[in-house]
Amino acid sequence: MATNIVVIGMGYVGIPMAALLADVDDFYVTGIQRRSHRSAWKIDWLNNGKNPYEGEEPGLDELIERVVKAGKFKVTDNYDDVSAADFILIDVQTPVDDEKVPRYASLKEVSKKIAKHIKKGATVIVESTVAPGTTDNIVQSILEEESGLQRGSDFYLVFSFERVMPGKLIEYITDFPRVIGGGCEEANEKGKFLYGKVVKKELQGTDTLTAELTKCIENAYRDVNIAFANEMALLCEDFNRNVFEIITLINHRHDRMMHYPGSGVGGHCLTKDPWLLLYGFNKYTERINESKMKIIPDSRKLNDYMPYHMIELMENVFRDSHQLVDNIKITLLGVSYKANTDDTRNTPTENIVKILKARYHSHNIVYVAHDPYVKKRDYSLTDLTSDFNEAVDKADVLLFTTNHSVYYDIDLDDLKKRVNTPIIIDGRNIFDKKTVEDKGFTYRKVGEGAKKPV
């Protein structure tokens, strides 16, 4: 018997999940994507069996082509297929605004549209990350009020969060354990049936709120650990030592795994999920321990500071050489937030450019960005090129903000000839300090002192 599935939101989560499910015998999947000026092209692209992402995504090209050719996967902008759906997955973005409050406009809109079409016995699964308490207090309320149906008797509602990462979209769905948080045992069994068809690891059943907390705390934990690494990087710069050497020495112990510092934390998750956690805490608890909530906001503040620090390193070079940050060309190497992907969401490069333009708005600076994966439709802050030589020619400073693999193979001798001023600011530990300086570059790196060690 065929199982009909609708996946709402064709992004980094929805596309690989929809394609994997469509590859299951007797599963038929409809993807729903809003037709906006920025995303309408995705609908035709996917319906032609093409992967819309430019980065390295092992297996995704072949998977999408296969399920589309087999007639198992299609994409549309209307909700008609929800009426026949046995499972409805919500994979829309849930960002936070400048005040760190969740923007749930898409989540609420989608919930209302689902409610107008949902059939009895259907299972709705929220995969989008939300503040703890959101599934029960917002999604459930909308579904019940708009449909007249009751959760647990007429339909089932589950929160089961994604753990995907650009560059490993399929692997992180199939090869990671899956947490399934339903409102009742029947809901969890529905979730286990669906995910059991594509997930190779353990399916862990729990309640909805626990699942929401697990997702937010998991990402807050990583963000805090990165903040610690960034703080130690700043400390090691002042000690005039290399934090990356120290991390290697620490991690040589089998039960330690210190994170790496860098030019900033980007992506859709780590920059917002800690705020979602605190928002849910403030809204849905009595906040008995409110005064103790310090580590998460302090970590976010420190990680958001790192793009500023990249600029500080650049300014220190100009100051030491008695140069003005004026009438120069700044080249930014890497626009995506993660190596070898095209994901520009909350990329540190964006913050670096905005800070520079605000600080030096009248200083006749030419900005050029290079990225081998990102297309101009996804980045508009500066000129963008995929031609490395075009980007670096006549540059006065090179800011390496993403560790794309192509940057590790740069011919430094040729690069030295092309630039106007040989200055490298390394935000991703791409280069060896001695090697670069021996080639005649002035070099600064996040996490390493500028002077020669005594």
The gap between the terminal CA atoms of the chain, to the nearest Å, is 73
Phi/psi of residue 169, nearest 5 degrees: -60, -45
Nearest-5° angle of CA 49, CA 51, CA 40?
Answer: 85
Which of 72, 168, 216, 269 is flagged as catalytic? Answer: 269
Q: How far is CA 415 from CA 79, 424, 441, in A?
A: 53, 11, 10
Alpha-carbon distance of 432 to 445, in angstroms, equals 9
Length, in residues, of the chain: 454
The sign one gets for the Cα dihedral 196, 201, 206, 207 is negative
Q: Rg for the chain (alpha carbons), in Å?
A: 24
* Among candidate residues 387, 389, 388, 394, the one with its CA nearest the CA of residue 421: 394
Provide the token pair at 66.
């296969």
Provide the token pair at 154.
């007429």
Quick check: 335 and 347 in contact, CB under 8 A?
A: yes
Alpha-carbon distance of 79 to 34, in angstroms, equals 10
Alpha-carbon distance of 123 to 296, in angstroms, equals 34
Quick check: 265 and 223 in contact, CB under 8 A?
A: yes
Residues contacting residue 320 through CB under 8 Å, at least 6 positions apart: none
* Among candidate residues 143, 140, 267, 285, the one with its CA nearest the CA of residue 213: 285
- DSSP β-ladder status, 397-400 and 329-333: parallel
CA 446 from centre of chain = 22
* 69 is an active site residue: no
Nearest-5° angle of CA 40, CA 45, CA 50?
Answer: 150
- Look at residue 210 and give its three-state secondary structure: helix
Alpha-carbon distance of 190 to 44, in angstroms, equals 31
CA 56 from centre of chain = 15
CA 448 from centre of chain = 27
Which of 42, 190, 192, 215 is flagged as catalytic? Answer: 215
Sheet holding 156-159, edge to edge: 73-76, 27-32, 3-8, 87-90, 123-126, 156-159, 178-182, 203-207
* 197 is an active site residue: no
| Active site positions, annotated | 215, 269
